[in-house]
Amino acid sequence: MKRILSILLALALVLAFSLVMAVPALAVVLPVHNVTQDLYYATIQAAIDAANPGDTINVAAGTYTEYLHITTDGLTIQGAGIDQSIIDLDGLTPYWHYPGASYSSRGGVLLSGYGSSGEIVENIIFRGFTVKNAGLNPPTPYTEFIDNGYGQDGVRGIMVGNGKNILIQNCKVQNSGDCGISVGKARGTTLTQSEGVTIYNCIVVDNWETGISVGDYIGAINITNNTCSNNKIPYTVGGREYSGKGIEVGGKSASQSISGLIFNNICSNNGFEGIVLKNYADGVTIESNLVTGHNIDDDGAGIFFYGKSSNPANCKNNIIKNNTVTGNIRGIVAYYAQACTIEGNTITTDSGSFPEGQGAMKIDNANSIVVRDNTVSCDGTGITVSSYDSASNSYGNTFTGNTITGAKFAGVLIYGPYARDNTFTCNTITGTTSLTLWGGTAWEETQADGVFLDDDAGTGNVFHGNSIYGNAGDGMENQITATVDAENNWWGCNGGPGAAGCDTVVGNVDYTPWASASSVTTATGTGTASFAAPCGSISGLTAIPEGSLPTTGKPNLAFPHGFFSFDITGLTPGQMVTVTITLPTGAAPTQYWKYHPNTQGGWVQIPMTVVSPNVIRITLVDGGLGDDDGLANGVIVDQGAPASGAVGWETYPISKVRVFLPWIALLAAVMAGASLLVLRRRRAQS
């Protein structure tokens, strides 16, 4: 059984991370060693030149001072590992590998269509190397080509030009004169794109420009498990950095777009932005990445995706989900994009040495963007929607299930005459504090609002079923003459806007009717507890004595207010809801636990945020965490309670739970396959 399981796991990994390649029957292994011996090639290039399609070149540990040019299909070039087999290009020529002296041919390791059959190089595996110092300290006369004394003549570390079905794996690329790993086109060929490239488990650091750069590309890209850090030109131009990105990808044309997956990468402290989708990105998923520390330019951002301003359709159908985007000047920005989804991300901002106020999320001249279930805390605005350019750009965006805590100036900011017809539902906006934006006597604004519509904002923006409370300024301020539809929102108390305990409303805002919280006397007699949800309806709120629930598996904590049971109805199937609970004064809660009869062990800890000593927020998912019936049917059934005592078990955010689901499914499939094989073997032996 163990042997069968091992085989199946190995097969699963091969299917997930390997390229399918046609290997000739007579493939050979060519060994390379930097110490000259009769049985070895003395240089990697000599082995490449001698190899035939399907051959493997094994490179021993050591330092190799040579540029590489790979044009033969079907080669596997295998080093001894990162910082073991080292290609050090310090002081070497050439900068280009074939006539033309073009930037498109400058790479420390160049996988090029030039000179290949069909002008494209295919089915290459390059792994287990460190490539460093591309273009550094060139000998004369090549010093004349250095750009302004800083560019190391634009030499990439590893470059794929006109490549197809290429795997770059377990490599480190450092201190290149341009990008660390570059994928695109090669000069001297009629073809102008690459496709079918995977970059997996590489470290790309300290390069002059972008860590991983993909352009002039068609079809699916796979960029997974890489670290891209500190890639930037080490000085600013005119006070602006503008340079250095962790990962940047773009397609070839409107009819030859890029798609694929950017998954589980770390992008930190690059000069300008973390992950960028540029023109002709259609169907790229950016998922479960850590993006942090992009705050040395005041337009820096964690994740930025955009199309050409003349045609927003150049960037569409992309999904940005379950990423941790922290410590950047701006978190996630959609610019001239459409029909994209921003979902389940955790976003914080850090303005660094620049003035505070940039948006944690900004939808700028973009339309039909779905923004849902994100968690935001920031030193500027939470969500900004803006457009000055065209009525056909920034409209029809939907914002649902987002939690914005501790923004400055505004939790939601809308400005620009074409920022119109956007819909906000089921969001929680709380804790906004004061900030002055825009500067100058004529333009200066100081606000601390949950929602702020500037005097030039577009019309048709709708706010229904949100929780807008506890903001230092107004819950909503509308500076345009048209009335804003803001019905059925929770403003912090049952009395509605302006009542004691509620946020205020300024300007033409239709806030009637407003939502009310449901209240119940606690089972322990400590007082009254109130429950408010930004969407759906809370019904059947009941206090439950602690002793009425099973004790097996219950955590050893105090439940001073007893337990509560309630339903939330009227939801969209699968919807995530943040519930605000106001408790009687007393023991400050540290966790929230519920009895979940459909879960093994029965007791489950629910994500909880402490707003104040007696106000908490919990997150529930229809059909998921916190829903007793386990069905995505638009109804959440809950019974649980806040607990006091030492913080113990780790609470997993919803985004992490969702990330694990595909791997759990894969493991289940593997185990099922193993069981089936064992059963067949037993039947065959009986």
Indicate whether 438 pLDDT > 80.
Answer: no
Which of the four pLDDT bands, split at 50, 70 and 90, describes residue 644?
A: confident
Say if residue 648's pLDDT is above 90. no
Higher pLDDT, 353 or 441: 353
Alpha-carbon distance 648 to 556, whole Å? 10
For every residue of 517-559, DSSP letters joined together read -EEEE-TTSS-EEEEE-SSSEEEEEEEE-GGGS--TT--S-B-
Q: Residue 405's domain spans which residues? A: 386-515
Assigned domain for 526 exists:
yes
- Tell me the average pLDDT across 96-110: 68
Question: Within this chain, do residues 504 and 533 fall inside the same structural domain, yes or no?
Answer: no
Which of these, 234, 310, 320, 218, lies nearest to 274 by C-alpha position? 320
What is the pLDDT of the chain when averaged over all its residues?
A: 84
Residue 94 has pLDDT above 50, yes or no: yes
The domain boundary residue, chosen from 472, 498, 515: 515
- The confidence score (pLDDT) of residue 239 equals 54
For the cut 60, the answer to whether the pLDDT of residue 97 exceeds it is yes
Q: Comparing 648 with 601, which gets the higher pLDDT?
A: 601
HEC assignment per residue over 638-686? EEEEEEECCCCCCCCCHHHHHHHHHHHHHHHHHHHHHHHHHHHHHHHHC
One domain for residues 619 and 631:
yes
Domain contains 553: yes
Mean pLDDT in residue range 454-479 = 96
Tell me, what's the pLDDT at 36?
A: 56
Instruction: Indicate whether 587 and 485 sit together in one domain.
Output: no
pLDDT attached to residue 188: 65
Confidence class for position 373, pLDDT limits 50, 70, 90: very high
Q: Mean pLDDT lowest for which of 319-323, 412-416, 458-462, 618-622?
A: 618-622
Mean pLDDT of 392-407: 91
* 21 vs 175 pLDDT, higher one: 175
List C-alpha distances in Å: 525 to 348, 513, 528, 544, 645. Answer: 39, 32, 8, 11, 20
- Mean pLDDT in residue range 317-337: 96
525 lies in some domain: yes
Task: Mark whether 498 and 523 lie in a shared domain.
Answer: no
Please check the confidence at residue 641 and state whether its pLDDT lies above 70.
yes
**What is the predicted pLDDT for the residue at 155?**
87
- The alpha-carbon radius of gyration of the chain (Å, integer) is 29
Q: What is the pLDDT of residue 72?
A: 93
* C-alpha distances in Å from residue 364, one per residue of 327, 369, 383, 391: 21, 10, 11, 12
pLDDT band at 629 (very low <50, low <70, confident <90, very high): confident
Segment 10-34 mean pLDDT: 50
In whole angstroms, give the CA distance from residue 407 to residue 76.
51
46 sits in which H/E element? helix 44-50
Rounded to two decimals, what is the model's pTM? 0.86
φ and ψ of 427, to 5 deg: -95, 155
* pLDDT at position 274 over 70: yes
Backbone angles phi, psi at 374, to 5 degrees: -95, 150
Confidence band for 34, pLDDT divided at 50, 70 and 90: low
Does a structural domain hold residue 200?
Answer: no
Query: Do 408 and 503 belong to one domain?
Result: yes
Residue 292 pLDDT: 97
Q: If you average pLDDT over residues 636-641, what whole number do you get?
A: 89
- Give the angle subtended at the CA of 572 by the CAs of 568 and 573, to the nearest 5°: 90
Residue corresponding to tokens 């006597």: 441
**14 or 147, greater pLDDT:** 147
pLDDT at 193 over 70: yes
In this model, does residue 220 exceed pLDDT 50? yes
Has residue 675 got a pLDDT over 60? no
Is the predicted pLDDT of residue 205 greater than 90, yes or no? yes
Answer yes or no: is 393 within a domain.
yes
Both tokens assigned to 504: 């205020």
Residues 501 and 583 in one domain: no
Residues 475, 405 share a domain: yes
Give the closest residue to 224 by CA, choosing from 292, 287, 166, 158.
Answer: 287
- Does residue 538 share a domain with residue 491? no
Whether 502 and 526 share a structural domain: no
pLDDT at 588: 82
Query: Could you give the CA distance from residue 104 to residue 97 in angstroms, rounded to a whole number?
Result: 10
Residue 13: what pLDDT? 37
501 torsion bin: left (phi>0), alpha (psi -120 to 50), beta (else)? left
Q: Is residue 311 a part of any domain in this protein?
A: no
Whether 252 and 218 have beta carbons less than 8 Å apart is answered as yes
Of 469, 493, 515, which closes a domain? Answer: 515
Residues 583 and 561 sit within 8 Å (Cβ to Cβ): yes
Give phi and psi for 97, each to the nearest 5.
Answer: -105, -5
- Please write the tens of the pLDDT for every residue from 152-168: 677 899 999 888 999 99
Q: For residue 359, what are the contacts with CB-CB under 8 A and spacing of at least 6?
A: 330, 331, 333, 378, 380, 381, 382, 383, 384, 413
State residue 679's pLDDT score: 36
646 pLDDT above the threshold of 70: no
pLDDT at residue 670 in the model: 41
pLDDT of residue 5 exceeding 50: no
Percent of the chain whose pLDDT exceeds 70: 81
pLDDT (mean) for 219-240: 81
First to last CA, the chain: 17
**For residue 450, pLDDT beyond 70:** yes
pLDDT value for 441: 57
Structure confidence by residue, pLDDT tens digits, 56-74: 999 999 999 999 999 999 9
Q: Is residue 625 part of a domain?
A: yes
> 220-224, 241-245, 413-417: which has the minimum mean pLDDT?
241-245
- Is the pLDDT reported for residue 229 higher than 70? yes
Same domain (yes/no): 495, 588: no
Using the 3D structure, point to which of 480, 515, 550 is the last residue of a domain: 515
* 619 belongs to a structural domain: yes
Taking the CA atoms of 576, 578, 583 and 587 in sequence, report the sign of the dihedral they define. Answer: positive
Token readout for 538 is: 């809370």
434 or 604, higher pLDDT: 434
- Using the predicted structure, report yes or no on whether residue 231 has a pLDDT greater than 60: yes
CA 518 to chain centre: 36
Token pair recorded at residue 519:
């209240």
- Burial of residue 446, with CB atoms counted within 10 A of its CB: 0-12 exposed, 13-18 middle, 19 or more buried: exposed
Instruction: Give the tens place of pLDDT for each residue, 551-587.
Output: 888 888 999 999 999 999 999 898 889 999 999 988 7
Q: pLDDT grade, residue 665 (50/70/90)?
A: very low
Read off the pLDDT of each residue in 634-639 and give the average, rounded to a whole number: 90
User: Both 402 and 455 in a single domain?
Assistant: yes
What is the pLDDT confidence band of residue 493, given thresholds at 50, 70 and 90? Answer: very high
Number of domains in the chain: 2
pLDDT value at residue 313: 82
Residue 259: per-residue pLDDT = 96
More confident residue, 107 or 187: 107
- Do 544 and 486 sit in the same domain of this protein? no
| Least confident among 89-98, 351-360, 390-399 | 89-98
